[in-house]
Amino acid sequence: MEKRILGDRGLKVSALGLGCMGMSFAYGKVPDKKDMIKLIHEAVKQGVTFFDTAEIYGPFTNEELVGEALAPYRDQVVIATKFGFNIKNGKMAGANSRPEHIEQAVEGSLKRLNIETIDLLYQHRVDPDVPIEEVAETVKDLMKEGKVKYWGLSEAGVQTIRRAHKVLPLTAVQSEYSMWYRRPEKEVLPTLEELGIGFVPYSPLGRGFLTGRFNKNSKFEKSDFRKIVPRFTPENLDANQILVEKIKKFAVDKDATPAQIALAWLLAQKPWIVPIPGTTKLKRLEENLGSVNIKLTPEELQNINSALDKIKIAGDRYPEELEKRTGL
């Protein structure tokens, strides 16, 4: 597996990581834990060294899963987790990045992951009630204690990124980015390039939409997050099929699948971008990893971008309340 370096601080990871959220949370029925451990082991065997989790996934159960699965490979992998929310009665209960809460969250994550140091610690969402400088100082102290190696932000706006980076240099920013959500291209990516910060796109396959799996007749379980996402209403799924059809055409030309084209497109944007597609199926894992071998020429990339520029995506990526938590 090709390796990439996230930003200027030297964190080397596999070109594709594995987002583990869906193994415990968010997308309907939770898969069997033993099967997910086997899948994570297979990912390691196929060269994946970068694994993403968070305390809120479950809550807590995803970190426990990732910790157990990666215990035999601890010296070979990079584990990223996140803090930033109150968790009450098993549910997210508002942002909280107060120093004492960060310290508690890190202690909990270390225990559940069964590790001595968190490789990459993200603030999951910006807390409007706590200055980012205070957050950075708290993480700096945790680094001095040896509990955290690198840190980052998730879904932060450029001013927050700059302020945080000034106090404690950031290694990575994680935000949604894909062929059907390109907003980071406007301000975030240029800022990260300027400051020497890596970028980790989550939902690089549009929560499965870019694979061609869904259409207007698709149904989602009550516990599936997509059930409340505006882009996954029947009318918007139908309207956005034009994007999938375009991707399928490019895939045929490259003897690839739509998912592989979507991931290869992301990998071609910048050498410091490391997508973290999630899956619960071995077949999908192998398919996704195959994208690393697909190289898009500058002309192909330009043709894809020209096609994407002409498509207007229908529907918001988040319900309004969740969108308010991003980009501060």
Domain residue extents for the chain: 3-323
Q: What is the pLDDT of residue 144?
A: 98
Q: Is 202 a catalytic residue?
A: no
Kindly indicate whether the domain formed by 3-323 is annotated with CATH number 1.10.10.10: no
Q: What is the pLDDT of residue 100?
A: 98
| 25 Cβ neighbours under 8 A, 6+ residues apart | 56, 57, 58, 61, 62
pTM recorded for the entire structure = 0.97
Q: Which of these, 151, 146, 118, 147, lies nearest to 136 by C-alpha position?
A: 151
3-state helix, strand, coil in the chain (%, to 5): 50, 15, 35
Determine which one of 57, 177, 181, 202 is catalytic: 57
Q: What is the pLDDT of residue 321?
A: 81
d(CA 9, CA 26): 32
Q: What is the pLDDT of residue 26?
A: 82
d(CA 243, CA 252): 15
Q: What is the pLDDT of residue 325?
A: 80
| Cα separation values, 132 from 22, 77, 128, 157, 201, Å | 29, 28, 9, 11, 22
List the structure tokens of 113. Answer: 């992951």
CB 92 within 8 A of CB 82: no
Q: What is the pLDDT of residue 234?
A: 96
Q: What is the pLDDT of residue 92?
A: 85
CB atoms within 10 A of CB 315: 15
| Grouped pLDDT means (10 residues each) for the chain, 328 residues | 96 98 90 97 98 97 98 98 95 94 98 98 97 98 98 97 98 98 97 98 97 95 91 96 97 97 98 98 98 96 96 93 82
